Amino acid sequence: MNILLKSVTIVNGSTKNLHLKEKDILIKNGLIEAIETTIEPNGKTRVIEINNLHVSLGWFDSGVSFGEPGYEERETIENGLLTAAKSGFTDVILNTSSHPTPDSASDIVYLKNAGKDQLTNLHPLGNLTVRGEGEVLAELYDMKNAGALGFYDYKHPMTNANLLKIALQYAQNFDGMVFSFPLDKSISGKGIVNEGITSTKLGLKGIPALAEELQVARDLFVLEYTGGKLFIPTISTANSVKLIADAKKKGLQVSCSVAAHNLVITDTALEDFDTKYKVMPPLRTAADIKALHKGVKNGTIDFVTSDHTPLNIELKHVEFDNANFGTIGLESIFGMLNQLFNVEETVELLTKGRSIFGMEEPQLEVGQEANLSLFTTNDTYKFSQGHIFSSSKNSIAIGKQITGKVVGAIANNQIVLNK
């Protein structure tokens, strides 16, 4: 398949000679054949010419959830990867949120096979403990050999500090990445939103920032004792940023992510009791958002994730107390980030970090495999259900004004476009 991208602006800071230059890009059989000022189509070539079209290296999300196996009504792997491709993502790491959860090598093989031959590459995680119950370590070494990029009991905090210690020590033997969700359940209790002025006014049970920060501090103390590689997904408080920054200064191998919505929306959005705003970790305060922005800018926070979590309608259209936590986000993350940062910064956030997980970083150069995201930067619109590709529609971004529109992606000798 031959593809010619006409008059595209290249956003790629690692290639200074091409960065922010308008070029034509010719792709033949999945490889970048030429990057020139003007290229004329020859033979059977699909020409893509769209006003204000920009191109960057393919985007990467460090944590998404689908439904399969077990919750196919929320999202199949096939449609989840198609959604990712339409949203500009060429690589996604799959959380352990299925039923049953993946805690063996055969489970990892199943997930990789289910995701093969798609444009977007699926990289599964395996459970840290058997069935995600936090009691016995799962088959970490076998899962790593089968292709698991890390080990995570999705959204379930590791309450047993000694088991975390053992996991970090054991995983060093094969360069394994251990995930630990930042929540101390003994502090959070039955809380469902951020503890503060809004929760008090609304009469909703609160989760104090302390619940996150105690867990982060404990995990970092354990990491300092054991060594190894620790990933803390979706931090949300100012003090968590400070704790991780201090740990990095000590030379600890710790990395972390923040969900895009935790960079944009404060807990004041809860005043209408709209369950689309019920997420975990909860929406925090303006002061937390300010610190998270700073952490993203200075590199303390390694990834901004969509934290894409499809949920069928009956899990959200109930009383706030009874609704499930979670929002989809693949379709809206680019536009939301593009409201906060300039285009170069947004693209940097969406492309960096594969090497933390031992993945190969793509290159935007002649002779390399085409692994590209396509987008515009000057479209401003209100996000609606019509912009959602997922089977589930539980998006926190509905009704939000966002800037920039994803056109599609190219990878694995395939192209997926939205228009």
* Residue among 302, 263, 256 at smallest CA distance from 396: 263
The CB density around residue 414, as the number of other CB atoms within 10 Å, is 17
Residues facing residue 409 across a β-bridge: 373, 416
Question: Which residues neighbour 149 within 8 Å (Cβ) at sequence distance 6 or greater?
Answer: 93, 123, 124, 125, 177, 357, 358, 359
* Residue among 15, 90, 95, 14 at smallest CA distance from 59: 90
Q: Are 402 and 383 in contact (CB under 8 A)?
A: yes
Residue linked to tokens 């395939």: 414
Tokens coding 348:
């940097």
Residues belonging to the active site = 307
Tokens coding 414:
């395939």
- C-alpha span between 82 and 103 (Å, rounded): 25
DSSP letter string, 217-284:
HHHHHHHHHH-SEEEE----SHHHHHHHHHHHHTT-EEEEEEEGGGGT--GGGGGG--GGG--SSPP-
- C-alpha span between 42 and 118 (Å, rounded): 27
> For 409, phi and psi rounded to 5 degrees?
-155, 160
Identity at 387, one-letter amino acid code: H
